[in-house]
Structure 1
């Protein structure tokens, strides 16, 4: 049965309102994934077939779509960003509202969207603090069918060599593709997601097995000359091996 939903988050960002605005409207994939940048006007075209319903740089940006392409289980989707200056404009306060209509499996859809929101917005803050406005090479991939198992994300974290009791903020040595060891900060960790930050990348691990889907990985590579296809191939091979 169709039912409306609303997910609201408010936070301060270690960035100016202009920097936050650029991050959420440029479409670069620096913190989320590459998408078409919106036409810079009310009534313009937005990502995923949406329409820009509010455009007031750098304070308010809203897009809305009523026939959602590529988003399973929704008939309406709206993303609203309100950005206000703090500390004389040196920091920004952000109010983010994701609303719409889920057409089936409402509880599962809402739970997944809500928890993903927290992870995505954390990644936005990490990007703004450590990487903006560096250009990015973005890769995303999914695990095999075996990665839908209940303990799949736990298996991924173990394969990375991260201790079970490691918490967000911990410095860790990670075992990545081809057994390569590298240093990182475990910038996010809960039963549903894990995030790693290196000097040149944000690597995100999505425990979508909790919602009946395969585990996913995204790589935001800010290194000079970064190769998104090479990143994708390397991490796909690593993830497939974890579940082989």
Structure 2
């Protein structure tokens, strides 16, 4: 039987409410930091679509108050599961914004594991949003990759692969630590670590935002949001898919 959940997060963003709105309430903006391919019809009652790994989910815009409040709710499954996202924007001094997220709905199987992944993942994605707004202001990504590979049983093995991909030698890893992209088939590129926590490692370079995930049932996922178009999408996709296995 489905069971209710709710996750609440907030983050201070070095961007105006208008800039934050463009990042959370438009398809190209969401593509640039979240996951998959996104389409949003800009009105209350409008349709939303998100395609991840070839699967498209549909949602409805339940609140549309530009610069203030944006909310969506996915269509319920036959079992009654769904997810709802509400973003509340508050203008702050100096052209900054306080963003509050309420992520709620009903989950079914393996509730504890799924809830923990959502609880940690929501905070990670908000930190990724902050990095997008700070490092690539006024821009949207040229291409976005969301790729899945083989499952890795232990967290230790996953972290070892993460560390190798980002040229990191030793743990713990803290935000701001220098990294070097070290994936065969891709040019070495220096950057900094954005976050390192339960199953997630993120970094930013001059060209891209990167996220590596050890997800549900041990699934390995790699994400890249590229803002320069280099390397070419096909080259990057082939290199990351080979790395994932």
Q: Calculate the TM-score normalised by the size of structure 1.
A: 0.87
Give the Cα–Cα distance (whole angstroms) in 2 for the partners of residues 153 and 164 of structure 1: 13
Q: Distance in 2 between matches of 1:33 and 1:76?
A: 18
Q: Do residues 27 (structure 1) and 36 (structure 2) align?
A: no
More strand by share: 2
> What TM-score do the two structures reach when normalised by structure 2?
0.87
Alignment of 1:85-124 (within 5 A): 85-87=91-93, 90-124=95-129
How far has the Cα of 1:180 moved from its partner? Answer: 4.5
Q: Give the alignment of 1:199-238 within 5 angstroms.
A: 199-208=206-215, 211-224=216-229, 227-238=232-243
Q: Secondary structure of 2:189's match?
A: strand
Matched, 1:44 2:46: yes
Deviates more, 1:21-30 or 1:132-141: 132-141
Cα separation, 2, equivalents of 1:104 and 1:14: 38
Runs (4+) of structure 1 exceeding 6 A deviation are none
Residue-pair matches, total: 233
Retained in 2: the 8 A contact 1:68–1:77?
no
Encode CA deviations 1:150-169: one digit per residue, 9 max, x unaligned.
42321212422302133211
The gaps in structure 1 that reach 5 residues or longer are none
Q: Deviations over 1:169-203 (max 9, x none)?
A: 11123322237533111111124111111011011
- Report the CA distance between 1:39 and its aligned residue: 1.5
In structure 2, stretches of 5+ residues that fail to align are 50-56
1:187 aligns to 2:194 (yes or no): yes
Whole-angstrom distance in 2 between the partners of 1:202 and 1:64: 27
C-alpha separation in 1, matches of 2:100 and 2:198: 25
Measured in 1, the distance between the counterparts of 2:220 and 2:5 equals 25
Contact 1:55 1:62 in 2 (8 A): yes
Aligned mates of 2:122, 2:239 — CA distance in 1: 27
Give the alignment partner of residue 68 of structure 2, picking from 45, 56, 59: 59
Asked whether the equivalents of residues 177 and 192 of structure 2 are also in contact (C-alpha less than 8 Å), the reply is: yes
3-state SS of the aligned residue for 1:177?
coil
Name the Cα RMSD after superposition. 2.1
- Inter-partner Cα distance in structure 2 for 1:59 and 1:37: 20
**In structure 2, what is the Cα distance between the partners aligned to 1:152 and 1:182?**
24
Confirm whether residue 152 of structure 1 aligns to residue 157 of structure 2: yes
Aligned to 2:90: 84
**Is 1:143 aligned with 2:143?**
no
Aligned residue for 1:31, secondary structure, equals coil
